[in-house]
Chain A
């Protein structure tokens, strides 16, 4: 069983839809949770960073963490064609060298 499971999709939605992306994890040592966005043939860029259970909002994006269920989500409101990308969840424990464990990535397409 992988430490982090993410539905690879692909996910196709119409413009303006609410998108929900999810990851589950099995390692209780994970304390920090991130969502990266990766456009085709580019490197991932950090979208959201959280470390406590609950919600964190940034514009159209909301990251949700439920440590008791070992479940994290990213919600995208009013999705735009420019949101079309691969979304990767990533997490790490409390060590200082920052090793990340990634989910498989979800391919999202928002069509006009």
Chain B
């Protein structure tokens, strides 16, 4: 099945710890995105990558880091500098058709212990 796989589904972070969220796609899409979703705030863009080995900050990049070493993979690290990491994190990739539709994974829910 083609799609976007996010893991783990649930993740807990201890104080001062860095955690990494995985996002893998087998859709052969070039562009990938990370969003954070909080209740009542919709989706906010953290980072995006248009191509391998290149990425740009979104609207709320502070306290996060990413890498894009392979086309299929776009992991997100939530660092200890992110003081309020509890949220639902969504990964998306951009289709190549004329409509440029974003397709989403099932999300990772991160909580602080």
- Residues from 43 to 78 in B contacting A, C-beta threshold 8 Å: 43-45, 48, 50, 58
Expressed in whole angstroms, the Cα–Cα distance for A2 and B31 within the complex equals: 25
Give the residue of A43, A99, A103 whose beta carbon is less than 8 angstroms from that of B90.
A43
Interface residues on A, range: 20 to 34
CB-CB < 8 A to B107: which residues of A? Answer: 41-43
Tell me the count of chain B residues lying within 8 A, CB to CB, of chain A.
27
Expressed in whole angstroms, the Cα–Cα distance for A105 and B44 within the complex equals: 12
Give the residue of B41, B58, B94, B105 whose beta carbon is less than 8 angstroms from that of A98.
B94
**How many contacting A-B pairs (Cβ < 8 A)?**
58
Q: Enumerate 18 A-B pairs (CB-CB under 8 Å) in ascending A order.
A: A8-B40, A34-B101, A41-B88, A41-B109, A43-B4, A44-B43, A45-B104, A46-B102, A49-B101, A88-B42, A97-B31, A98-B31, A98-B94, A98-B100, A102-B42, A104-B40, A105-B40, A105-B42
Contact residues of A with B, CB < 8 Å?
A: 4, 6, 8, 32, 34, 36, 41-46, 49, 88, 90, 92, 96-100, 102-105
- Extra inter-chain contacts (7) besides given A44-B104, A88-B43, A96-B100, CB under 8 Å: A41-B88, A97-B48, A97-B94, A98-B31, A99-B48, A102-B42, A104-B41
Contact residues of B with A, CB < 8 Å?
A: 4, 6, 31, 33, 40-45, 48, 50, 58, 88, 90, 92, 94, 99-107, 109
